[in-house]
Amino acid sequence: MLKTVKFGGSSLADPAHFKMVRDIIFSDEARKIVVVSAPGKRFSGDNKVTDLLYLCYAHIKYSVDYANILHLIKERYSDIINGLGLDFDIDKKFDGIIDKIKNGAGEDFLVSRGEAVCAEIMAKYLGYDFVDSYENVFFNYDGSVNLEKTYEAIKKSYDATSGKIVVPGFYGTMPNGNLALMSRGGSDITGALVAAALGADMYENWTDVPGILMADPGIVDNPYPIPRITYNELRELTYMGAKVLHEASVFPVRQAKIPLNIRDTNNPEDPGTLINEEFEEKELNADKFYITGIAGKKGYCIIDIKQENVARKIGALRGVLKIFEKHGATIEHILSGVDSYSLIVPMDTIKDIYSMIAEVKDFCGAGSVNVTEGISLVACVSRKMASRPGISGRIFGALGENDINIRMISQGAEELNIIIGVDDKDYAKCIRVLYNSFTRKD
């Protein structure tokens, strides 16, 4: 058994958290591959090391003295080193960083030191080998990861170690040899790449939450965590606005058929959320609720178009879709009838709604178009939709009992979700009503 474990910044904020991470790693001998972020906030009002590094570079860029900020960052690491009783020369490490700055090192190099120094300290603390992402994660010129080259390098580097390594997340190398950062949250991607490259049996992503939650905790008080979720369900929830994992951090492990487990560093006994391609029927029936999760987004409009006998007019819909394409409008759902159809469009994708609608009217006829703005979409996602009768009825009944007007309904072809359109004013209420309906004990 081989596990890749990634720890986020909140799990590495101070010496106490480093000790928790060590205990988690040493509690399972399969946890041989460790990927780390830069230290996060220690308390409310504190700063993440990455944010301080960005601020430090801003001072350098505008020729403002940066010594105090860099000292603050060094002190964060000094506190961790001293708290762990490590023999680690942090002064020498930062002298080297300063030399690089004076020789013109760019923003990406400076910011990457958050992860790099953290990983070196963690490797020293665990007695593992340090493997630098700069020499093992390779980008193409468009910023995408060169998977073949990256996987080959990681395998080669791992084979040259003791078999237990710590890798810094968040950065890699461009084809010209320059160090480059990933987008924020990129350490999750690094973890997935390393897990896939080494054929890990599990990728554990440790953070400060008990897994993926069934609903937005900003709307629903203390929502239940999701014990099991398929990659398809995760994709549906993420697309509909759930703040979970970046899609790029899922692709490598999904492609390699590696399960992903989101765990809570502060509660290591909790099993968290397990993500896999599919689950056995007995696991499906063991799940507590009929639905997996609820997510949604505001900012849509419904564009109703009337065209007599449109269902039989070849090319009628295509002509309208070409107008939408011309104006950059993304169409998320199409609902059709005999003499009309409705298009659900995110408002922020329409460059000029007035000119677009004018063109649609020219094509379809005056009085043929009606636009309703202020629409929210809410999705109930579950792999059980196809096998469990009554889910749709429960949704509609709950919303009707609570005076929530349904503006549109759509179900995906794979029967993984039911999407409801409601007025923006009912958005939060809709999510609470649906959550309570499916989690209450009858």
Q: Which comes out higher in pLDDT, residue 389 or 183? A: 183
Nearest residue to 440 (alpha-carbon basis) of 406, 412, 401: 401
**Which strand (E) or helix (H) includes residue 5?**
strand 3-7
What is the C-alpha to C-alpha distance for residues 35 and 12, in angstroms, rounded to an integer? 11
- Average confidence (pLDDT) over 370-398: 86
Structure confidence by residue, pLDDT tens digits, 325-360: 999 999 999 988 888 889 999 999 998 999 999 999
CB 53 within 8 A of CB 73: yes
Amino acid identity at 278? E
Note whether 199 and 314 are same-domain residues.
no
Structure confidence by residue, pLDDT tens digits, 212-232: 999 999 999 999 999 999 999
CA dihedral 61, 66, 71, 77 (to 10 degrees): -10
Nearest residue to 437 (alpha-carbon basis) of 387, 381, 398: 398
What local confidence, expressed as pLDDT, does residue 393 receive? 85
Give me the count of residues in the chain: 442
Structure confidence by residue, pLDDT tens digits, 267-278: 999 999 999 998
Amino acid identity at 280? E
164 falls within a domain: yes
* pLDDT exceeds cutoff 90 at 413: no
* pLDDT exceeds cutoff 90 at 317: no
Q: Which two tokens stand for residue 393?
A: 């009825």
Find the CATH number of the domain harbouring 80. 3.40.1160.10
- Average confidence (pLDDT) over 155-161: 98
What local confidence, expressed as pLDDT, does residue 311 receive? 62
- Average confidence (pLDDT) over 375-403: 86
What local confidence, expressed as pLDDT, does residue 2 receive? 98
Domain count, the chain: 2
What local confidence, expressed as pLDDT, does residue 340 receive? 85
279 falls within a domain: no
Note whether 203 and 297 are same-domain residues.
no
240 falls within a domain: no
Q: Which two tokens stand for residue 63?
A: 């020729």
CB 220 within 8 A of CB 432: yes
Proportion of the chain above pLDDT 70, given as a percent = 96
Note whether 413 and 300 are same-domain residues.
yes
* pLDDT exceeds cutoff 80 at 366: no
Note whether 40 and 162 are same-domain residues.
yes
Residue 14 phi, psi dihedral angles, 5° rounding: -160, 175
- Average confidence (pLDDT) over 99-108: 94
Q: Which residues contact 44 (CB under 8 A, 6 or more apart)?
A: none
* pLDDT exceeds cutoff 90 at 98: yes
CB 195 within 8 A of CB 169: no
The boundaries of the domain holding residue 371 are 293-439
What is the C-alpha to C-alpha distance for residues 412 and 379, in angstroms, rounded to an integer? 10
pTM, rounded to two decimals = 0.88
Amino acid identity at 296? G
Structure confidence by residue, pLDDT tens digits, 108-156: 999 999 999 999 999 999 999 999 999 999 999 999 999 999 999 999 9
What local confidence, expressed as pLDDT, does residue 287 receive? 62
Note whether 63 and 187 are same-domain residues.
yes
Q: Quick count: other Cβ atoms within 10 Å of Cβ 234?
A: 25
Note whether 11 and 147 are same-domain residues.
yes
What local confidence, expressed as pLDDT, does residue 282 receive? 62
Q: Which comes out higher in pLDDT, residue 368 or 33? A: 33
229 falls within a domain: no
What is the C-alpha to C-alpha distance for residues 65 and 352, in angstroms, rounded to an integer? 45
CB 113 within 8 A of CB 95: no
* pLDDT exceeds cutoff 60 at 441: no
End-of-domain residue from the set 173, 208, 243: 208
Find the CATH number of the domain harbouring 333. 3.30.2130.10
What local confidence, expressed as pLDDT, does residue 184 receive? 83
Structure confidence by residue, pLDDT tens digits, 184-217: 888 999 999 999 999 999 999 999 988 999 999 9
369 falls within a domain: yes
- Average confidence (pLDDT) over 356-379: 90
pLDDT mean across residues, the chain: 92
What local confidence, expressed as pLDDT, does residue 286 receive? 55
280 falls within a domain: no
Concatenate the DSSP letters of all residues of 293-346 into one string: EEEEEEEEEEEEEE-TTGGG-TTHHHHHHHHHHHTTPPP-EEEE-SSEEEEEEE
Note whether 301 and 194 are same-domain residues.
no
Structure confidence by residue, pLDDT tens digits, 236-258: 898 887 877 777 889 999 999 99
Note whether 200 and 298 are same-domain residues.
no
Structure confidence by residue, pLDDT tens digits, 12-21: 999 999 999 9
CB 343 within 8 A of CB 356: no
End-of-domain residue from the set 188, 208, 228: 208
What is the C-alpha to C-alpha distance for residues 99 and 91, in angstroms, rounded to an integer? 12
> Judging by beta carbons within 10 Å of its beta carbon (0-12, 13-18, 19+), is residue 335 exposed, middle or buried?
middle
What local confidence, expressed as pLDDT, does residue 281 receive? 65
End-of-domain residue from the set 182, 208, 234: 208
